[in-house]
Amino acid sequence: MRALVIGATGGIGSAVMAQLKADGWDATGLSRSVDGFDVADPAAVERCMNSQTGPFDLIFVAVGILAPSGESPEKSLGAIVPDDMARVFAVNTIGPALILRHAARLLPKDGRGVIATLSARVGSIGDNQIGGWYSYRASKSALNQIVHGAAIELGRSHKQSVCVALHPGTVETSFTADYAGRHKTVPAPEAAANLLSVIADLTPEHTGGFYDYAGKEIVW
């Protein structure tokens, strides 16, 4: 079994890589720090993705930011900064969309292939009860729409493909360090095991969906 992990040196991505290798997968990792894979740079995405040869049984996209470096998610409309919002969308939404452009070439044409992209429960419009975090929430909502549309398109040519958005829970990483005290957290290896367990159970009937770390569907 072959896997491609994008964001392979991050907290969740590195844990997914380790778990896949422990399970006997042939896992390839791509990251900004090692490979110059900056998802906010379309040329870098094209270069890195074009260097890959499929098919991959799993493509796992583990990229994202809460806010630009040195900033925090907005708590009010008045705190929105256009350039900061654009940066969040570039990483959380446009970057994964550029990756998904390569899915058809890299997934098996006649067998099961999964492309799973990390989203977040706060990207759910129906589940939003407290507001705030405008850029992050909106970028993940937009990502969910792109994943859903990609699943429809892929399903026409790759009948056994599965394209989903996944919520990993609040994971103990540098990404969540400033906010983890407000939520129950899990270590990255546990989160990786949970996500891979969900992925293992996915079928083409699940494609286009939004699921949490326990496999439960999340409202859009």
Contacts of 140 (CB under 8 A, 6+ apart): 92, 93, 119, 120, 122, 123
Angle at 35 between CA 169 and CA 141, to 5 degrees: 35
In the chain, alpha helices (H): 11-22, 32-35, 42-50, 82-89, 95-100, 103-106, 134-157, 188-201
Q: Which domains does the chain have, with CATH numbers?
A: 2-212 (3.40.50.720)
Per DSSP, 205 falls in state G
* pLDDT score for 184: 77
**101-115, 183-197, 205-219: segment of lowest average pLDDT:** 183-197
The rounded mean pLDDT for the chain is 95
Cα–Cα separations (whole angstroms), residue 17 to 12, 59, 113, 154: 9, 11, 17, 25
158 alpha carbon, distance to own chain's centre? 20
* pLDDT score for 174: 64
Cα–Cα separations (whole angstroms), residue 12 to 79, 111, 118, 146: 29, 27, 9, 22
Contacts of 41 (CB under 8 A, 6+ apart): none
* pLDDT score for 185: 83
In this prediction the pTM is 0.94
What pLDDT, in 10s, does the model give residues 124-152? 999 999 999 999 999 999 999 999 999 99
Share of the chain above pLDDT 70, in %: 95
- Decide if pLDDT at 177 tops 80: no
Band of residue 175 on the pLDDT scale cut at 50, 70, 90: low
Q: Average pLDDT, stretch 160-182? A: 80
Which is higher by pLDDT, 168 or 180? 168
Contacts of 129 (CB under 8 A, 6+ apart): none
